[in-house]
Amino acid sequence: MENVLRTHKITKYFYDPEKFQVLKGIDLTVNRGEFLSLVGKSGCGKSTLMYILSTMDTDYEGELEISGQRLTGKSLNELAAFRNAHIGFVFQFHYLLPEFTALQNIMIPALKLARYSRAEVEARAYAKLEMLGIQDFARKPTNKLSGGQQQRVAIARALINDPDIIMGDEPTGNLDSYNTHMVFDIFAELTHRYKQTIIAVTHDDEFARKSDRIIEMSDGTIISN
């Protein structure tokens, strides 16, 4: 199976308040189309690992490769452009831009990428909204939407550039059980129908259990894979 993400001996230290090794030589390979949950107790380094995998954190030792590209050592601007094209994000909070409508929020990463014309981007964004069943809210400002709707808009935004990986940091952490199920179902459908790779950090055992692969971390190492 084709692998989409590979790490080699990723190690990271925190220096504040004192030197502390958060990650201890993490080797990880993620295959295309995998729905992977990253679990572990608070402070085990799972979020830290995810932010390194997402290329936003560049302060580590070891090597990171996504879609065959070695990302370790690239400049911040190169990494930003890479994230734009290859990585989608879903966070615990939706992080939608409040001044823009749902549709505009979804379009922003695609307009940034500028692979398609504005009209095409709009059509694609609309298609994503339809896929997630929230096309009725397309023209609404995002602060007028409910939590579940906002999170679905955020997922649509993560999907707009057809990323190689969707990274989720507690994507259901702020949702009630109904919406948690809904988000999980969306993720499951994305992986099974569209072969979308998803890496999600979660505290929710049920969410993790239902995913394809669970990686459990403790004290900066992977203890079960």
14 binds another protein (CB under 8 A): no
Stretch binding another protein (CB under 8 A), from 104-112, 122-130, 202-210, 215-223: 104-112
With binding defined as CB under 8 A, does residue 157 bind another protein? yes
**Residue 145 to residue 125: CA distance in whole angstroms:** 17
Q: Which of 111, 127, 188, 214 binds another protein (CB under 8 A)?
A: 111
Site for another protein (CB under 8 A): which residue of 36, 39, 67, 89?
89
Residues 151 and 90: their CA atoms lie apart, in Å, by: 8
Q: Does the footprint of another protein cover residue 188 (CB under 8 A)?
A: no
Q: Judged by CB under 8 A, which of 24, 74, 112, 140 binds another protein? A: 112
Q: Which is nearer to another protein, 54 or 67 (CB)?
A: 54
- The residues in 19-78 that bind another protein, with binding defined as CB under 8 A, are 47, 51, 54, 56-57, 76-77
Nearer to another protein, 128 or 157 (CB): 157
**169 binds another protein per the rule CB under 8 A:** yes
Applying CB under 8 A, among 97, 117, 194, 195 the residue interacting with another protein is: 97
Report d(CA 162, CA 62) in Å as an integer: 27
Size of the site for another protein (CB under 8 A): 30
Burial class (CB in 10 A: 0-12, 13-18, 19+), 51: middle
Binding residues (CB under 8 A) for another protein: these are: 47, 51, 54, 56-57, 76-77, 80-85, 89, 91-93, 95-100, 108-109, 111-113, 157, 169
